[in-house]
Amino acid sequence: MAPFKIACTILFCLLLSSRSRCQNTIPHLAKKGNATQLIVDGKPFLVLGGELGNSSASSMEYLRPAWEKFKAMHLNTILSPVYWELMEPEEGKFDFALTDSIINTSRKNNLKVILLWFGSWKNSMSCYVPAWIKTNASRFPRAQDHTGRGLEILSAFSKNNLDADRKAFTALMQHLKETDRTHTVIMVQVENEIGMLTEARERTADADKAFNREVAPGLMDYLIAKKDSLVPELREHWSKTNFTASGNWETVFGKSLATDELFQAWYYAKYANAVAEAGKKVYPLPMYVNAALNYRNVSPGQYPSAGPLPHLMDIWQAAAPAIDMLSPDFYNPFFKQYNDLYTRRNNPLFIPEIRLEPSDAAKAFYAIGHYQAIGFSPFSIESAPEPKNEPVGKSYSILSQLSAEIGKYQGSGRMDGVLLDTQTRKQEIICGDYKLSVAHDYTLGWSPEASNPDWPMAGAIIIREGDNDFIIAGTGIVIGFSINGTETEKAGILQAEEGKYINGIWKPGRRMNGDQDHQGRHIRIPAGEWNIQKVKLYRYK
């Protein structure tokens, strides 16, 4: 072979092997600027997900009609439970058939999977632990209330409980490592909505003993080192004892239900960490825990307490380094507020659950655009009655076209999002030299429905591709432009086109002008419509 040909062959082989090495890397998280990306097959992956209803994944027959729905809604990922009781019906005998069917069918349908480990705890309770655990409370102790009565919640203070959970979870991860060679499973949720209920903390003898011991040095050292950057809720609580730095839990934090909750959180988090750590040892997929939010402001014990809640972020982060993210489940209307809370302490935002409702369409744009979220996932996605018309599916269609661009601009400071409704009708965004005044479509007053007091939520993602070039995608918004910080110069629309990304390549459609941009005054995507527009601006005096 001629030397040139040999050199080319070697180069080709090297390229090929580095490419396949890249494709074989385990899904993982990577920092990019101020964002965290989920890297799958060597590329940033945006989770356009949907979580299955709790019992749906126990029957492939039941799920049969769902796969077409997922396609119609442009999902790229499903979040599916793994039920401990079905996976280990007899101690030490594992049955992965159901999980394999979910994974294989997802793969065939071009979907990735996030597995939800319904292990020791599911929405506080221990309903998914196998019968051999449920019926043997002397070996697998339960939490107790203050009267000494057992709760249907496994105790976080029992080594037997932890060992059993950890063994089962490790078996699952080992199985995934051996069988899921093409990485259909991209992430794992450890337990589900951990939280103590009816009490702020457990009352078993072991729990009481731990409560009266010194606060673990692991936590104390962490709190001392991070005293000035703790979440304000925790800092304020600790300040009541003048930041006492040694002693038992009540000495350090004072006597209160809030202290009881802190204590329980530390032990829940240690437990979840031990499970995650053991699983990661065999197969290190990204792992997160999810939280039932206490938005009604009731006392610890009356809401699922001690889970990965905003005021307990430091406790969870200190106790659980093997957990990559603390994630909010949204069943309340305070979307911005809780996302703000969950993006503190460098916590990457992933929304594993949100009630399936029309506003999800706008919220997905906002979470991904503004908070650089890793992904979004309405709950009980298979129950969407009309998948083709499901609003979040329309947003996913746009977001899936844009996912390469989103991956490129995440963490760069050039991407933002807006969320508008009847209360918040306008928002300003500074993008380089320009100020974008984004308003709800109904502020124009052109829609006959604008007189309805409840406006549909509107949302958009805005990417500044170049100094004067923007990608604007979303639903229900109208955007005016000005030059930031001066009135002597104005901003005009040089050109706007709608279009589609097909396999990552922009294919322009209509040139938007005249009535569509109000003769150059603004960019508009009407409510009830979804669109991507590429916009070029210019300055004039």
Name the site residues for ligand DGJ (rule: CB under 6 A). Answer: 54, 123, 192-193, 329, 353, 379
Q: Smaller CB distance to ligand DGJ: residue 123 or 273?
A: 123
Q: How far is the CB of 380 from ligand DGJ (least distance, A)?
A: 7
Nearest distance, CB of residue 165 and ligand DGJ, angstroms:
18
Question: Which residue, 117 or 501, is less far from ligand DGJ as judged by CB?
Answer: 117
Cβ atoms within 10 Å, residue 541: 5
Distance CA 80, CA 117 (A): 9
How far is the C-alpha of 299 from the C-alpha of 258, rounded, in Å?
A: 8
**Please, which residue, 81 or 279, has the CB nearer to ligand DGJ?**
81
d(CA 78, CA 180): 16
How far apart, in whole angstroms, are the C-alpha atoms of residue 523 and residue 520?
8
CA dist., res. 533 & res. 395, Å (int) = 14
For residue 464, the tally of other CB atoms under 10 A from its CB is 21
Measured between its terminal Cα atoms, the distance across the chain in Å is 66
Q: Report the residue number, 37 or 99, with the smaller CB distance to ligand DGJ.
A: 99
What angle do helix axes 360-370 and 335-342 make, rounded to 10 degrees? 30
Task: Write out the H or E segment, with its range, that includes residue 291.
Answer: strand 287-292
CB closer to ligand DGJ out of 25 and 55: 55
Q: Which C-beta is closer to ligand DGJ: that of 165 or that of 193?
A: 193
Nearest approach, Cβ of 382 to ligand DGJ (angstroms)? 13
Q: Given the complex with ligand DGJ, which of 116 and 431 has the nearer CB atom? A: 116
The angle, 0 to 180 degrees and rounded to 10, between the axes of the packed helices 232-239 and 257-282 is 130
Of residues 51 and 421, the one with the C-beta less far from ligand DGJ: 51
Structure tokens at 130: 């196998």
Which residue has its beta carbon closest to ligand DGJ?
Answer: 193
Do 395 and 365 form a contact (C-beta atoms < 8 A)?
Answer: yes
DSSP of 190-210, one letter per residue?
EEES--B-SSSS--SHHHHHH
Which residue, chain included where needed, has tokens 């007189």? 451
CB 82 within 8 A of CB 115: yes
Burial of 248 (0-12, 13-18, 19+ CB in 10 A): middle
CB of 455 to ligand DGJ, least distance (A): 26
119 versus 417: smaller Cβ distance to ligand DGJ: 119
Report the residue number, 54 or 144, with the smaller CB distance to ligand DGJ: 54
Bridge-based pairing of strands 523-525 and 35-40 is: unpaired
Task: Determine contact, residues 343/417, Cβ cutoff 8 Å.
Answer: no
- For residue 123, the minimal CB distance to ligand DGJ (Å) is 5
Those residues whose C-beta lies under 8 Å from the C-beta of residue 314, and which sit 6 or more positions away, are: 222, 223, 226, 230, 231, 234, 345
Min separation Cβ 313 and ligand DGJ, Å: 19
Q: Is 294 helix (H, G, I), strand (E, B) or coil?
A: coil
The dihedral formed by the CA atoms of 520, 525, 530 and 533, expressed in degrees to the nearest 10: 30
Give 54 or 531: the residue with its C-beta nearer to ligand DGJ.
Answer: 54
Torsional sign, CA 510, 515, 518, 524: negative
In the complex, least distance from residue 112 CB atom to ligand DGJ, rounded to whole angstroms: 20
Nearer to ligand DGJ, 271 or 379 (CB): 379
Smallest gap from residue 292 Cβ to ligand DGJ (A):
6
Least gap, CB of 297 to ligand DGJ (angstroms): 19
In the complex, least distance from residue 258 CB atom to ligand DGJ, rounded to whole angstroms = 24
Closest approach of ligand DGJ to the CB of residue 49, in Å? 14
CB 336 → ligand DGJ: shortest distance, Å? 20
CB-nearer residue toward ligand DGJ: 271 or 330: 330
Q: Dmax of the chain from CA atoms?
A: 86
In angstroms, give the least distance from the CB of 50 to ligand DGJ: 13
Residue 30, SS3?
Answer: strand
Residues 6+ apart with CB under 8 A from 406: 44, 46, 368, 399, 415, 461, 463
> Is-contact 533 498, C-beta < 8 A?
yes
Taking the C-alpha atoms of residue 312 and residue 305, their distance in angstroms, rounded to an integer, is 10
Q: How far is CA 226 from CA 32, 322, 392, in A?
A: 24, 19, 39
In the complex with ligand DGJ, the residue whose CB is nearer, 54 or 359, is 54
In the chain, the amino acid numbered 219 is L
Residue 352 CB, nearest distance to ligand DGJ (Å)? 8
